[in-house]
Amino acid sequence: MNLIDDLISPQWRGTYTLFKKELFRFWRVAFQTVASPVLTSLLYLLIFSHVLENHVQVYEGVPYKAFLIPGLIMMSLLQNAFANSSSSLVQSKIMGSIVFVLLTPLSYVQFFIAFLAAAIIRGFLVGLSIYLVAIWFVDLSIVHPLWIFMFALLGSALLGTFGIIAGIWSDKFDQMAAFQNFVIMPLTFLSGVFYSIHSLPPFWQTVSKFNPFFYMIDGFRYGFFGQSDISPWLSFVVVLAFLLGLAWLALKMLKSGYKLRA
Amino acid sequence: MTDIKSVPAVKIEKIHKRFGQLHALKGIDLTIEQGEFFGLLGPNGAGKSTLINILAGLLKPTYGKVAIMGHDVLDAYQAARMSLGVVPQELVFDPFFNVREMLRFQAGYFGRGRENDAWVDEVIENLGLTDKAHTNMRKLSGGMKRRALIAQALVHKPPVIVLDEPTAGVDVELRQMLWAFIKKLNNDGHTIILTTHYLEEAEALCERVAMMKQGEIVALDTTANLLSKLPGKNLRLTLGQANLPSTLLPMLKNGENGIFTLALTELNQIEFALSELRKANIHVQDMQLIEADLEDVFMSLVGEQASSQNLQAGTL
């Protein structure tokens, strides 16, 4: 990273340093932040594919095991992007070390970019690790790699941004855990990770369409199979709209100094 | 264009800060010139930390303006923060990194790259942290963490350094070492603003002090002038088991364990005190005449109530 350090112009060095610090922070505890979610996803794959392989076929010509993998990748990617920004912020607020960043000339936009970029990298790293391990067990095609990349990017950015909001708002770990357990977890599990929404009754299909996680996972899966529950373009628009809305809120909170600068 | 050498290091104009019903700062006006060693004194709740946090951009004032080296802390916050190094009061640290990593990150936030690494190493050496440069922050003792906090405030070479209670809870040896280091920084041209509960510290280090009480500055002068405002001396008498005669009680400043300190306004009161002791047949085991110190000034300005709440063994 020394070469990058030298190439970065002084006005972006602050942003880059905060980004690098956030990367190092999660990499120092990579067993917890990367290896653990990869293992959890592989256990899901092992158990669900073993139980349901011969009972469920969601898309024509796509084994259930293969169908499951993009959903599991996206679920872990989203959860870890959220966990990165939120846990870092809450921890540094509680420990008081956030002051070291607040005392610097970093602007609220630079602060946002650095935390967001680190969240995206962690999400990608976890997602890529699951993919690389999973393709040892399952023959997984890639039909539209650009859609895969686009939804991975938008999804991790959206959850990274949501993590920033949750991290700023939460004053203790308990509140943070409530976000994870009562918002992120249900929305990911009920978004079509393990099933197609066409397998649901009409009422629950309608409910699922209010869940932004559904669009991220459905669009991501389209990149692998060229098949999805709804058009990837519609998913793209919905996810982008949610991202812009949350980014606006996060930037507004940071600009006002909400819960950071009284 | 403003000449950077002519602007004050810190200019505080009519600063008010309210937290709901609490009026924490009530119109503070204060100018600190470049190169000064300035002390900010006051009991808990006087508003010292609130004022420091406004300087540092951690709090927004309800009303008023603050400029660091001519840069407004709100409108030109980036230039203001580049000019300021703050040593927080609490021993906060990032548990993921060692001392050198943490200092390099801190310098990086201020736009400093690898060209600054030599300065970081110099700060590490000057603060006696060389042996601990690769030690995780979590594993440092309290004193070492305090040194690392000071180092963090210096990595971007700020002209103005604020130390919020830098020697709170440190042992005598480290306190002396930190005093010498802070004095050296001042001699090198840095403006130093020190908040402290230790009046002895302010007296030893600060050229000028502001004393705060309930969100207001109640005294602002050079340390020498403040001390000269109280011409009186203190007479410390060691009487063993005996009690002080009632005629001397109006002069009593404090007394415990058989040691009584009398506040004198005139030197001939010494003879009066000794004659009263002789009349009461009390044997004086020891006697010392002590100059008035900042503590006396503080007590006379802030009043008995604040002092008795906060005065503990020579500290406020």
Contact between residue B149 and residue B90 where contact means Cβ atoms under 8 Å apart: no
> Is B122 in a helix, a strand, or coil?
helix
Residues near B130 by Cβ (< 8 Å), separated by ≥ 6?
A: B124
User: Which pLDDT score is estimated for B256?
Assistant: 83
Contact between residue B161 and residue B87 where contact means Cβ atoms under 8 Å apart: yes
Best of A19, A100, A109, A111 to substitute, by most chain B Cβ atoms within 10 angstroms, is A100
Closest chain B CA to residue A110: B109
Tell me the residue type at A103: L
* CB pairs < 8 Å spanning A and B: 88
Tell me the residue type at B93: F
Backbone φ and ψ for A242, nearest 5 degrees, come out as -60, -45
Neighbours of B270 (CB within 10 A): 15
- The answer, for B111 touching chain A at a CB cutoff of 8 Å, is yes
Chain A hits for B97, CB-CB cut-off 8 Å, are: 21, 24
Closest chain A CA to residue B86: A103
A108-134: average pLDDT: 96
Cβ-defined contact of B111 to A10 (cutoff 8 Å):
yes
What is the distance in angstroms between the Cα of B94 and the nearest Cα belonging to chain A? 6
Q: What is the mean pLDDT of each run of 10 residues along chain B (316 residues)?
A: 76 95 94 95 88 94 96 96 94 91 95 90 91 93 91 94 85 85 92 86 89 90 79 81 86 84 82 89 86 72 51 38
Round to whole Å and give the CA distance between B91 and A36: 32
Contact between residue A165 and residue A243 where contact means Cβ atoms under 8 Å apart: no
* Cα–Cα distances in angstroms (integers) from residue A149 to residues A19, A228, B18, in the given order: 21, 16, 49
Q: Would you call B241 exposed, middle or buried from its count of C-beta atoms within 10 A (0-12, 13-18, 19+)?
A: exposed
User: Which pLDDT score is estimated for A1?
Assistant: 64
Burial profile B1-25: b = 16 or more Cβ within 10 angstroms, e = fewer: eeeeeebbbbbbeebebeeeeebbb
pTM of the model as a whole: 0.85
User: Which pLDDT score is estimated for B174?
Assistant: 83
Q: B-contacting residues of A 83-102, CB under 8 Å?
A: 92, 95-97, 99-102
* Beta bridge pairs of residue B38: B193, B208
Tell me the residue type at B70: G
Contact between residue B63 and residue B100 where contact means Cβ atoms under 8 Å apart: no
Closest chain A CA to residue B82: A105
* Beta bridge pairs of residue B312: B315
Q: A-contacting residues of B 133-172, CB under 8 Å?
A: 152
**How many distinct helices (H) and strands (E) make up chain B?**
11, 14
For Cα atoms B205, B210, B214, give the angle at the middle one, nearest 5 degrees: 135
User: Which pLDDT score is estimated for A59?
Assistant: 75
Eight-state DSSP code of residue B127: T
Show the tokens assigned to B240.
Answer: 């063993």
Give the neighbor-by-neighbor strand order of the sheet with B286-291.
Answer: B252-256, B259-264, B233-238, B286-291
- The answer, for A11 touching chain B at a CB cutoff of 8 Å, is yes
Eight-state DSSP code of residue B165: S
User: Which pLDDT score is estimated for B2?
Assistant: 53
Residue of B88, B92, B96, B122 lying closest to B107 (CA atoms): B122
Q: Is the pLDDT assigned to residue A171 strictly greater than 80? A: yes
pLDDT in tens, A182-218: 999 889 888 888 878 878 888 888 888 899 999 999 9
pLDDT in tens, A139-150: 888 999 999 999
Round to whole Å and give the CA distance between A162 and B205: 48
Chain B hits for A105, CB-CB cut-off 8 Å, are: 77-79, 81-82, 109-111
Helices A232-256 and A145-169 cross at an angle (nearest 10°) of 30
What is the distance in angstroms between the Cα of A184 and the nearest Cα belonging to chain B? 26
pLDDT in tens, A89-119: 999 999 999 999 999 999 999 999 999 999 9
Question: How much of chain A exceeds pLDDT 70, in percent?
Answer: 97
Show the tokens assigned to A107.
Answer: 């602007």
pLDDT band with cut points at 50, 70 and 90 for residue A239:
very high
Cβ-defined contact of A105 to B97 (cutoff 8 Å):
no
pLDDT in tens, A55-89: 666 677 788 888 889 999 999 999 999 999 999 99
Round to whole Å and give the CA distance between B125 and B216: 39
C-alpha dihedral (B221, B222, B223, B228), degrees to nearest 10: -80
Chain B hits for A104, CB-CB cut-off 8 Å, are: 81, 106, 109-110
Chain B hits for A2, CB-CB cut-off 8 Å, are: 114
Chain B hits for A255, CB-CB cut-off 8 Å, are: none
User: Which pLDDT score is estimated for B294?
Assistant: 72
Show the tokens assigned to B45.
Answer: 């709740």
Q: Is the pLDDT assigned to residue A18 strictly greater than 50? A: yes
Residues near B17 by Cβ (< 8 Å), separated by ≥ 6?
A: B23, B24, B25, B47, B50, B54, B59, B61, B62, B215
> Is B26 in a helix, a strand, or coil?
strand
Strands, E, within chain B: which ranges?
10-19, 22-32, 37-41, 63-68, 71-72, 84-87, 160-164, 191-196, 208-213, 216-222, 233-238, 252-256, 259-264, 286-291
Round to whole Å and give the CA distance between A166 and A175: 9
- The answer, for A141 touching chain B at a CB cutoff of 8 Å, is no
User: Which pLDDT score is estimated for B311?
Assistant: 38
What is the distance in angstroms between the Cα of B236 and the nearest Cα belonging to chain A? 44
